Amino acid sequence: MDTTEARYGEMARIMFDTGDWITPMFDYNVPFWGKPPLFTWLSAGGFELLGVNEFAARVPHLIVGIAILVMTWFFAAKVRDNKEAWLAIAILSTTTAFIVISGAVMTDTALTFAVTLSMVSFWMAWESGSRLWGYLFFVGLAIGMLAKGPLTMVLVGISLVIWLMQDQRWRRIPTVLPWKGGIAVFLIISLPWYLLAEWKTPGFLNYFIIGEHIKRFVVSGWQGDLYGSAHDEVRGTIWLFWFLAALPWAPVLMYQVSRFFRAGEEGVQTSNGYMGYLWCWMLSPMLLFTMAGNILPSYVMPGLPALGLLVAGYQSQQKISDKVFKVGLITPVLLVITAFLLGNNLTGKESEKVLLSKWEKQVEKENSELIYIQKRPFSAQFYSEGKAKLNQAPLSALLTKPKEDAFFVIEKGKIPAGFLWDKSRCELRAESNKRQLVHCKAS
């Protein structure tokens, strides 16, 4: 579906088609500076193994999502017990955001994996003094740099700084991590791509670091975005986004916390600070984006593993009725219903797949160009394998006297009056809910 997933899927297809694994391309010969390349590497790798199709684009991201569940289970099992671990991943995997985004071609699943790896590794290094876990902490940060950039370090940093400021835990920082070796590992994994990207397309670092990581979040309606439109939300909207993304479990967590307060306990700290650690992890995206206007609901996803761990942890401390957890069945049922509605074009939102499947059957006979008038969705580029061209010339001049045979795709209601009357030159070949496919012969 347009726009996000189709856009990222098309960029991965271009990477696969061109063999350029350094610079993601917004269109052929148009570099995409908005995100690091991990999302394109994942989907393009899927194309290498399985061919160019939707499943190949999505399945690598789904595997990353499963890896997040595995890490979450491992963390809870090591720190608490297996029963709590299974409940934690059942909750995480049925949150609205996780069940949708972890199978989609987006950047947020890889970012969540990176944050989860770093947060789990830090705790394990803190508790055991293991240098291996210390190195894995830096590996997580490096993966995050390739998934979404410095945002990973900011999210992890907010979580750890708040937690470490309590009980003078910060005093252990010099010894808990292998700083010299870890920073070296971080740079070895992440730095080469950034240097190559700037070398291939000068200006990348300025746009990505300053524009995407400062202006995007502090300048409401930022006009410097080269690839999309700014999202100007009311300050504090990220908390509403969290509530929606965490459904159906956000109300359950609130209820659990309220029970602790009524019992005269704050329900946050444990003897080793585990629950407080999870709270810092879960809240970090909201704390970062509270004063940002240019935000999306998916920005809260890195904190969702902590949500699952918190709900499971509170259930172990003070049980609520097991019947409450049946609410988790709501999410997969709604997902199935949504998939059915989307698949049958019953939502008003569609891709160009159906229309272009009809074009594909005719183009071999006609051998004509495919031209989108005024607007070309990313799904059109993906399903036409880059053959769809964009033309913004006046409709009347372009369509009433075409210079060569061509297929034109026009939005319904925007076809010049009388255009289709000349049956000798132009013929309606197919249509979708929003657009019509017309074949015209040269004048």
Q: Evaluate whether residue 45 is within a structural domain.
A: yes
pLDDT of residue 324: 86
The verdict on residue 348 lying in a domain is no
Averaged pLDDT, 358-385: 82
Domain assignment present for residue 61? The answer is yes
pLDDT in tens, 264-281: 665 555 667 899 999 999
Based on the fold, state whether residues 313 and 357 are members of the same structural domain: no
Q: How far apart are CA 421 and CA 274, in angstroms?
A: 72
State residue 341's pLDDT score. Answer: 83
Give the pLDDT band of residue 26 (cuts 50, 70, 90).
Answer: confident
pLDDT at 402 over 70: no
pLDDT value, residue 421: 45
Domain shared by 72 and 212, yes or no:
yes
pLDDT of residue 309: 97
Please tell me what DSSP assigns to residue 19.
-
Q: What is the pLDDT of residues 37-46, one digit of tens each?
A: 999 999 999 9
Residues 185, 294 share a domain: yes
Residue 170 clears pLDDT 60, i.e. is over it: yes
User: What whole-number distance in Å separates Cα of residue 327 and Cα of residue 307?
Assistant: 16
How far is C-alpha 112 from the geometric centre of its chain's CA atoms? Answer: 9
Looking at residue 316, what is its pLDDT?
A: 85
Instruction: Report the C-alpha gap between 69 and 140 in whole angstroms.
Output: 15
Among 342, 375, 402, the domain boundary falls at 342
Q: How many CB atoms lie within 10 A of CB 342?
A: 14
Q: Which residues contact 371 (CB under 8 A, 6 or more apart)?
A: 388, 389, 390, 391, 406, 407, 408, 409
Same domain for 101 and 241, yes or no, is yes
Decide which of 278, 312, 342 is a domain's last residue. Answer: 342
Residue 146 is part of which domain span? Answer: 4-342
At 156, which amino acid appears? V
- Whether the pLDDT of residue 348 is over 80: the answer is no
pLDDT digits (tens, 9 = 90+) for 302-317: 999 999 999 999 998 8
Which two three-digit tokens encode residue 198?
Answer: 């700037």
- The reported pLDDT for the residue numbered 424 is 64
Q: Can you tell me the mean pLDDT for 317-330?
A: 85
Alpha carbon distance 433, 42 (integer Å): 32
What is the structure's pLDDT at 195? 94
The radius of gyration of the chain's CA atoms, rounded to the nearest angstrom, is: 25
3-state DSSP call for residue 5? helix
pLDDT for residue 8: 93
347 falls within a domain: no
pTM of this structure: 0.90
- Report the range of poorest mean pLDDT among 10-19, 199-208, 397-406: 397-406
Q: What's residue 248's pLDDT? A: 93
Q: What value does the mean pLDDT take over residues 70-96? A: 95
pLDDT the model gives residue 354: 82
- Average pLDDT for residues 232-244, to the nearest whole number? 87
Mark whether 200 and 311 lie in a shared domain. yes
- Residues 278, 247, single domain; the answer is yes
Average pLDDT over residues 25-49: 91
Question: Average pLDDT of 129-133?
Answer: 93
pLDDT at 189 over 70: yes
Domain count along the chain: 2
pLDDT score, position 426: 77
Looking at the fold, whether 287 and 433 belong to one and the same domain comes out as: no
Report if residue 250 sits inside a domain.
yes
Residues 37/24, Cβ–Cβ less than 8 Å? yes
Average model confidence (pLDDT) for the chain? 86
Where among 318, 342, 366 does a domain terminate?
Answer: 342
Both 306 and 380 in a single domain?
A: no
The answer as to whether 97 is a domain residue is yes
Residues 209, 82: one domain? yes
The DSSP symbol for 426 reads E
Q: What is the mean pLDDT of residues 130-141?
A: 96
* Residue 167 and residue 255 in one domain: yes
Looking at mean pLDDT, say which of 110-114, 362-366, 431-435 comes out highest: 110-114
Is residue 408 located within the same domain as residue 325? Answer: no
**Are 139 and 264 in a shared domain?**
yes
Q: What is the CATH number for 377?
A: 3.40.190
Q: Tell me the per-residue pLDDT of 178-187, one tens digit each, with 9 for 90 and over.
A: 999 999 999 9
